[in-house]
Amino acid sequence: MKSKLESLLDKNKLPRHIVIIMDGNGRWARRKGLDRISGHREGMKSVRSAVKSARELNIKAITLYAFSAQNWSRPKDEVDALMELLKQYLLKEGNTLIERGIRLNAIGRLWELPHDVHRVLVETTEKTVDCNEMTLTLALSYGGREEIVDAIKKIISTENISPQNLNVDMFNKFLYTADLAEPDLLIRTSGEMRLSNFLLWQLAYTEIYVTKTLWPDFRKRHLIMAILNYQNRERRFGLTSDQVKKRKVQ
């Protein structure tokens, strides 16, 4: 049964691809007198809720910033706990993803993940390869600057590409996200106003929505509120409002 909030959504103006910077686990735990790992554990409930809700709303792609390239510098016990939470999520949710028609994808320097985590990630990705209702992408050991550097390395090592032939469309093909549509909506939780080295190339014309809600408290109603906000915006992609209106008429 739809909530009143969900009934306000325009099903014809849904973002195709939503990306989320999941921030606030540590602050959530601190406010409750708990350790940071407890905050990350609670944040996994929000991951499950966000994925389930996005599928219910018929969103075609959702990308979650799960572990950044810079997160390796955090205390070892926290990194180990995050890797274990990731592995347990993949082990427990694999069949659920298949049942919901969700294909698992991952981007980042995945070779830096612990062997057992990488193995489970690959296995889960392969299990869901034929699912086509929604794509869930996990950004792991991911950094936007690192992605651009890795793309340049690929270009340099590829024969028959001259500087004269290199353009935006071609560069896109060398990014981790080559098979994904560009993000329509970025959601950042916890109220922080920064990109944190996330999808620096891809977010060029993405609509940004920031909520003060901490990630462990994020649920379906928060996702709907972000989408409603998105639907009330005019996306111009560098054009004027008049030019956008003319294109819609045509």
Active site residues: 23, 71
Cβ-contact 72, 112 below 8 angstroms: yes
Q: Decide: residue 52, CB within 10 A, 0-12 exposed, 13-18 middle, 19+ buried.
A: middle
Cβ-contact 17, 183 below 8 angstroms: yes
b/e map 158-173, b = 16+ CB within 10 Å: eeeeeeeeeeeeeeee
Cβ-contact 25, 71 below 8 angstroms: no
Nearest to 145 by CA among 197, 194, 69: 197
Cβ-contact 164, 111 below 8 angstroms: no
Task: Specify the pairing of strand 185-188 against strand 207-210.
Answer: parallel
Three-state DSSP state, 156:
helix
